[in-house]
Chain A
Amino acid sequence: EPEVTQTPSHQVTQMGQEVILRCVPISNHLYFYWYRQILGQKVEFLVSFYNNEISEKSEIFDDQFSVERPDGSNFTLKIRSTKLEDSAMYFCASTKDRGESPLHFGNGTRLTVT
């Protein structure tokens, strides 16, 4: 069964550094998402992406965050200058359609900011 893949599985970075989290969505999916889960908290929506542009973003997704689909397969999340509070599991997801179409998630990248 096709799956969403994410790399790296764990990223450690120093505060103020830039990080790029990478995702390969399922190949025939058109909608792409980033979610995050801070330890002990809910899974939270960050951003959705369709047709090479951001469709929707949450309040968390401020100017420090950006997303890109640099080629036909990868989908990236960049955090420009990391803060301690960015430490979390970051999940990429994709769906074929909007509406009644379940999101398929990757296994996540654990980001640790020291």
Chain B
Amino acid sequence: DQQVKQNSPSLSVQEGRISILNCDYTNSMFDYFLWYKKYPAEGPTFLISISSIKDKNEDGRFTVFLNKSAKHLSLHIVPSQPGDSAVYFCAANPFRISATNKLIFGTGTLLAVQP
């Protein structure tokens, strides 16, 4: 059941450049989208989110863009830093059709930022 897809399993970027991580979803009922970062042996850490009524949300070096007609979102990190190297998960929260915040995760993209 591939409701949330991250088609790039890995991405390598030079320090200081922009990292762009992509995510596609299939269900137009999804209301709220989140990006999580995960280091090995740690739990997912919340990074940034976007409501379905917006098309952009920015927090420091991180910006999330949402294209509802294409059912696509992306996370931009600029400038990228070596400490950003981690697995990034996209997740959808269909709270309009779900009793609680039952997140549906993508498979993740491993970002490697080269010094």
Chain A residues within 8 Å of B, Cβ to Cβ: 4, 6, 31, 33, 35, 41-45, 48, 50, 55-56, 58, 91, 93, 95, 98-108
List the B side residues contacting A31 at CB < 8 Å. 100-101
B: residues with CB less than 8 A from A are: 31-32, 34, 36, 41-46, 49, 51, 89, 93, 95, 98-108
- A99 CB contacts on chain B under 8 angstroms: 31-32, 95, 101
How many A-B contacts at CB < 8 Å in the complex?
A: 72
Q: Which of A41, A48, A102 is B46 in contact with, Cβ under 8 Å?
A: A102
The answer to whether residues A56 and B100 also contact, given A100-B51, A105-B45 and a CB cut-off of 8 A, is yes
Scoring B93, B101, B106, B107 by chain A CB atoms within 10 A of each residue's CB, the highest score goes to B101
Query: Is the CB–CB distance between A98 and B89 below 8 Å?
Result: no
Give the contacting residue for A43; candidates B32, B45, B89; CB below 8 A: B89
Contact among A42, A48, A91, A100 with B102 in the assembled complex (CB-CB below 8 Å) = A48
Q: Give complex CA distance A82, B36 in Å.
A: 29
Interface of B is mostly: loop
- Chain B residues contacting A4 (CB-CB under 8 Å) are 43
B49, chain A: closest CB distance, angstroms: 6
How far is A55 from B64 in the complex, measured between Cα atoms in Å?
30
Contact A45 B32 (CB under 8 A): no
The answer to whether B103 touches A56, judged by C-beta atoms less than 8 angstroms apart, is: no
Cβ-closest chain A residue relative to B35? A102
Q: Give the residue of B31, B42, B101 whose beta carbon is less than 8 angstroms from that of A103.
A: B101
Is there an interface contact between B103 and A103, defined as CB atoms closer than 8 Å? Answer: yes
CB distance from B75 to the nearest CB of A (A): 14
